[in-house]
Amino acid sequence: MFNLEIVTPIRALDEGQVGYVRCPGLDGSFGIMANHQEGIFALSVGEIKLTRNGKDEFLATGGGFAEIMGHTVKLLVESVEKSSEIDEKRAEKSLDRARNRKSEQDPELNEVRIEASLTRALNRLRVSKR
């Protein structure tokens, strides 16, 4: 078991003791268990899975960093939402808006930002169903 803290620019979650965390890395997902190698790892938009007392919990993240030091893991992320907190209808509307922006072909719109918005919306919707 190790202590998990999740920090965003607007809130901090002290998740307490967990046995396992799976994070979305830049090159694919990676797992963290007690006594993991220390370091700082980049996170992408995706799903965080944490296991506590044999039960799995799922969170959507907007990317950031995982800092592993001793018996503490800190996830410093742009955003985080527990699957139970995600409003599925709102997530679907965000996905529709992102798809509409992508199909508009407006030269004023930034293609990279549109793709990022689409990725975040898809992730939130997927995690909301967990």
Render pLDDT for 55-91 as a digit per residue (tens, 0 to 9): 999 999 999 999 999 999 999 999 999 988 888 888 8
Q: What tens digit of pLDDT does each residue of 4-63 get? A: 999 999 999 878 999 999 999 999 999 999 999 999 999 999 999 999 999 999 999 999
List of domains in the chain: 2-83 (2.60.15.10), 87-128 (1.20.5)
In this prediction the pTM is: 0.82
CB atoms within 10 A of CB 44: 17
Q: What is the dihedral of CA 16, 74, 38, 22, to 10 degrees?
A: 80
